[in-house]
Amino acid sequence: MSLIQPHGGKLVNRQLTGDAREAAIKQAATLPRLTLNARAEADLELLANGAFSPLEGFLNEADYQRVRDERRLANGLVWSIPVTLSVTADERKSLTAGKDVALYARDNRLLALLHLEEIYGYDKQVEAEQVYKTTEDKHPGVAALYAQGEFLLGGKISLVNEVSTAFAQYRFSPAQTRELFEKNGWSRIVAFQTRNPVHRAHEYIQKCALETVDALLLHPIVGETKGDDIPADVRIKAYEAILSNYYPANRTQLAALPAAMRYAGPREAVFHALIRKNYGCSHFIVGRDHAGVGNYYGTYDAQNALRDFTAEELGITPLFFDNTFYCKRCDGMASLKTCPHDAAEHVSLSGTRVREMLVAGEIPPIEFTRPEVAQVLIDAYRVQAKAAAAH
């Protein structure tokens, strides 16, 4: 069997090489320049390497409006998150539609050219309500939206320098994961999205899914996340610990996804599924409150969002899992679908309680997390505590 087709049928590649790259670098010196923030840098990399296929750049107005309102591109293809580049009124003054713009990283490196097609205004509150289901700036995605400039730029991009080399050994492009899958003889690959370390409930649903496919792609977000999320380098160490001790090496692959979290719940679940389709995955795990934050979304809103589209439209098969836990009466991992016992029998710890235990150097119960993962987190909290004490 062959691998799943990319979204839209073709894997986009907007990375320049050779003479074209050299010419673009020379041209950039004569162009107006924009410095990107962390999210725009992440989006740029994923536009260039095909993770956002079929997008070839930042959305033009027709695509933006239909994505915002209908979760589709102007041509009708499913797409749930507006991938946009904003500028302030002052920045706009130096820009002209039809003229290229040089895009720079926060560390002042040239990254890409934007082939600017459109400059257009937009309503931030309408986007907040449609995409995030709230206009409250306490929501991190809405806060980021409100901090944007007043205008959006639409146009294709051409990457001339890599955005980042962080987590280089795991930073695979969609073309690279596809090559890896084919080399291993895998055609049915299930992806798991995470911004947190893997605990026993995650492990349970991953292994349930792994029973039915060829391989698991553990694909954590390593781009910008909330300030209180566990740092990416700590999470990577935790993934390495659990994979090396509890998963079959010949059927699992760890890869870093250099995306920024939007915390858009249902919309982001669809977005994450389409990205993994581009990476070559045939299946995508969706548990409770996928990509959620606070109490903005219902427990299974993300699963329902994926049910809004036909199998043909999505092209990737979502695997839905209920809330999972260790049940003392069942003497094993279970879910609300398989366990008949009261919640009092379930091992359940709040995130706050887990953090308190880790800070105190206590390993949470084996029913909640693997000790190897807990030790990575304890070590990280100790380093953090020492750094705080030094200040």
Name residues whose C-beta falls within 8 Å of residue 104's C-beta, 6 or more positions apart in sequence. Answer: 33, 34, 35, 36, 110, 111
Measured distance between the N- and C-terminal CA atoms of the chain, rounded to whole angstroms: 57
Transcribe 199-268 into DSSP letters.
-HHHHHHHHHHHTTSSEEEEEEB-S---TTSPPHHHHHHHHHHHHHHHS-GGGEEE--B-PPP---THHH
Which region, left, alpha or beta, applies to residue 155 given φ > 0 means left and ψ of -120 to 50 means alpha?
A: left
Nearest-angstrom CA–CA distance, 17 and 23:
10
Contacts of 176 (CB under 8 A, 6+ apart): none
CA distance 210 to 203: 10
| Catalytic site residue from 13, 37, 184, 196 | 196
Is the C-alpha dihedral spanning 171, 177, 183, 184 positive or negative?
positive
CA distance 220 to 275: 12
User: Of the listed 14, 195, 200, 370, which one is catalytic?
Assistant: 195
195 is catalytic: yes
Q: Is 196 a catalytic residue?
A: yes
Residues catalogued as catalytic: 195-196
